[in-house]
A = this chain, B = another copy of it.
Amino acid sequence: MSHVHTWDLSTNPTKVAVIVAGGRGLRMGVDTPKQFLELKGRPILIHTLETFLLSYPDMQIVLVLPADHLDQGKKMTADLPGKERIRFTTGGETRFHSVQNGLRTLTQPAIVFVHDAVRCLLTVSLIRRCFEQACLLGSAIPVIPATDSIRLMEGEQSRALPRAQIRIVQTPQTFRSDILLPAYETPYRTDFTDEASVVEHRGIPVRLIEGEERNRKITEPIDLLIAAEYLHTS
């Protein structure tokens, strides 16, 4: 693609992770947003922040929180090593708006990682691979193959999709800021389910990268137990 120029890794590009913790976690059946639930004695969100802070000594974080949980988030991170690299903003009506709020805090060109706070099991290794590919190719979207058959609803009917061609999309969805920021200067659409779909809407193809089985989204109470087992065994 003529409009994507490789960024030179040796120039040490700025790294900013926009961690989206705007959700209200209604599926958990509790009042606490799921990113604040405890896993091995600490909030899910803290596990996520630690992995990003560890990944690169110059990784900066923009934490997007629900407005009425902003104080809680600030308090929670007050003793975290590396907390001086975290800045805060509040979430919007949808994920799109929350990411847009986070991106507005950027002040210079950067590699931007947009990550779900509730995917707290990602590894440093995945973050680094995303960084390197995004420098070279402009974007890095982690995906894993499907182990189940997948169908597409079409009105009352449904049809099987070719499983070998299906990919399950994860985060951090990683982009060079000169690709991501212009893409977010667009009105919201309901088919914007992730950052890749926003960038593609602008006509720019995204590049996939191998994700991680363990990098699951915590959406159900059982996922907390799964996550605890992963932390126990890894």
* SS class, residues of chain A in contact with chain B: mixed
What are the interface flags for A187-202 relative to B under an 8 Å C-beta threshold, 1 for contact and 0 otherwise?
Answer: 0000101101100100
What are the interface flags for A157-200 relative to B under an 8 Å C-beta threshold, 1 for contact and 0 otherwise?
Answer: 11111110111111000000000000000000001011011001
Query: Do B143 and A169 have beta carbons less than 8 Å apart?
Result: no
Query: Do B168 and A161 have beta carbons less than 8 Å apart?
Result: no
Query: Do A217 and B147 have beta carbons less than 8 Å apart?
Result: yes
Q: How far is the CA of A146 from the CA of B78 in the complex (A)?
A: 36
Q: Is A84 an interface residue (CB 8 A)?
A: no
Residues of B within 8 A of A196 (CB): 149, 151, 160
Query: Do B222 and A226 have beta carbons less than 8 Å apart?
Result: yes
What are the interface flags for A131-154 relative to B under an 8 Å C-beta threshold, 1 for contact and 0 otherwise?
Answer: 000000000000100111111111
How many copies of this chain does one complex carry?
Answer: 2
Q: Is A58 an interface residue (CB 8 A)?
A: no
A197's nearest neighbour on chain B, judged by CB, is B160
Chain A interface residues toward B at CB < 8 A = 143, 146-154, 157-163, 165-170, 191, 193-194, 196-197, 200, 205-206, 208, 213-214, 217, 219-220, 222, 225-226, 229-230, 233
- Can you name 14 A-B residue pairings with CB atoms under 8 Å? A150-B168, A150-B169, A151-B169, A153-B167, A158-B206, A158-B208, A159-B200, A160-B194, A162-B191, A163-B193, A225-B226, A225-B229, A225-B233, A229-B229
